Structure 1
């Protein structure tokens, strides 16, 4: 059996702006995991079992060049989009290499959501399942793929399912630790992907315009605390509403204003990355504060609620203790983060609880030895168990 544990993610800075070509963000991988287990099956049968599809396995079948669930239930088909797309791309790559297709039974178990209610924390389940299936099947086929190629293969999967996503969650779940990420030109990637006779081999080996992803140091003198608002968010809806506001001149929020926001956000992220790499915690904290202020300003101008009342309370409580805090991700619910002196972390958790914010005792998932390209993999993801 092959078993792969994939960490969830949280955004530190760069939300929304990272959706633009070359948009930058900083994320962290956290120690809540999605696990993908693979058992060998017969050569002609591939099944998937997840909590979203019930207890019984769902068979995956090929229809022409596509891989799809062999069910008529639209909800199950939708729930398995990332899985089926990952399987399809892996099998296309296997065929290109001249490999026989494998039969397998995949089981996917997630600890990324609230265990009793099933409500989402916002830790990036779609990115984690994409990375998990890609890594697991790449191991099963014994593909000689470095981490740069695995990242591109996982991003191809994510973009095929949702062309609007940034891919930052994929990079964080694949690389671990604190991550500096720059979004590729997805239009250019889509054009490459749609070309006549396109080969997966070429797509994962060729450079992608603007794409960058690498690990960076964590802050040295402050710690990261995470609070859950108790309200799940649907990030795709928030992104669509903000984009409509940007495109609608009647709101008074022009594309020029949005371009200013993207530029300012990218500058904040650049400052944050530089500060972390040089060990300048004070500048890093100031950059996170500026990123939070930018998010609140752009959401106010566009009429999109990023910082809900619960997240505003989370931030103000943290600020009263001298910390810097902001919403994490698209907002509208889910989590907020705080950078605070370790000596004050316990008090922050207590005060959050008093106002209905749930502290999530998360640690940063470290993947020692896992690099973007040409180095050894983390043992956590390394092989058969």
Structure 2
């Protein structure tokens, strides 16, 4: 195996359409959409260290030395812990892929990674899944650099293993959107079980293994509806909110069971509406999804609905659309589906958002060319 010169790969960000929080549980469906802002990772030969990483979200270079078995040791100047924290996703990918190469008996070479992102505004993240996008882009770029011919599903599986090593509560829906693009229905595997397989049998075997509960299915875009995206200007840590939910002893409660049933039904209804081109049923499904999140917020007190997100939703409802927070809430983005022919109402919506302090983001679905249409757990 030899490095393949300089290679670049990019991956799009994402927005949740429906299924937030419920999708954390294996086999529970959600709808996500890839958006046309990207993270790009360029890999080339390193100089001065085994692994050198430069990112537009970091000051200076991060330098690491490779350990036997795929680990990384900080060898740069400055605060190594801060660099590790900011690059956690990238470093996890490097360690997972180097472990995989070692399992195959391939030599492991160093690499210089340069990372640039369109998913932030001068360092403030939009909430478009930047962690997932950089993870997927890093897997793709390192695979190309090391001469690995990986299918989209294999790249996704490596990205999920790298993510689950950091947090098994991450649904990894963002990874699916960044890998396959467009509108997709997603169900997560049991990430702890995947890690257990990797620990027992190795990364290669875990990538090839059956993943019960896992499914990715392409969906058509909404018929006769436009997607409007608003940004509150307040970045939020999804991991922090999900972790807070876990500390509220919510699992197994009556409120938990009710939320899971309602949100799952909302997602199934919305998937069917998308596949049939049923505009009114899809709008109804988005409204029901918003109500399910509001009931979760009331029961657990996560702070999903901020004043700006509430104003974003109400403005769309008044004008005949359907809206909800996208993702964990607490800030970041909200989405609104509006009748495509209602140009005047869309203009009014953006004006009302601006008055409420919500910034309109001109985003479109990001399509990725791939022959893999649907992926199920039965391999």
**TM-score calculated relative to the size of structure 1:** 0.90
Aligned to 1:279: 277
Aligned to 1:107: 114
Aligned to 2:215: 212
Cα distance, 1:257 vs structure 2? 2.0
RMSD over aligned Cα atoms = 2.0
Aligned to 2:135: 130
Aligned to 1:363: 364
Aligned to 1:152: 157
Cα distance, 1:346 vs structure 2? 2.6
Aligned to 2:168: 163
Corresponding pairs, count? 365
Aligned to 1:70: 75
Residues 45-84 of structure 1: per-residue CA shift (max 9 Å, x gap): 2211113331334234326542344345211111121111
Cα distance, 1:238 vs structure 2? 1.6
Structure-2 change in CA distance of 1:40 and 1:166 (3 Å): same
Q: How does 1:182-331 map to 2 (within 5 A)?
A: 182-195=187-200, 198-247=201-250, 255-331=253-329
Match of 1:230, SS state, is coil
Match of 1:232, SS state, is coil
Residues 65-110 of structure 1: per-residue CA shift (max 9 Å, x gap): 4234434521111112111110111112212223222232110011
Cα distance, 1:190 vs structure 2? 2.6
Contact 2:49 2:65 in 1 (8 A): no
Q: How far apart, CA to CA, are the structure 2 residues paired with 1:125 and 1:114?
A: 12
Gaps of 5+ in 1: 249-253, 375-385
Match of 2:31, SS state, is strand
**TM-score calculated relative to the size of structure 2:** 0.91
- Is 1:19 paired with 2:24? yes
Match of 1:100, SS state, is coil
Match of 1:336, SS state, is strand
- Is 1:346 paired with 2:347? yes
Match of 1:132, SS state, is helix
Q: How far apart, CA to CA, are the structure 1 residues paired with 2:49 and 2:55?
A: 20
Runs of 4+ in 1 over 6 A off after TM superposition: none
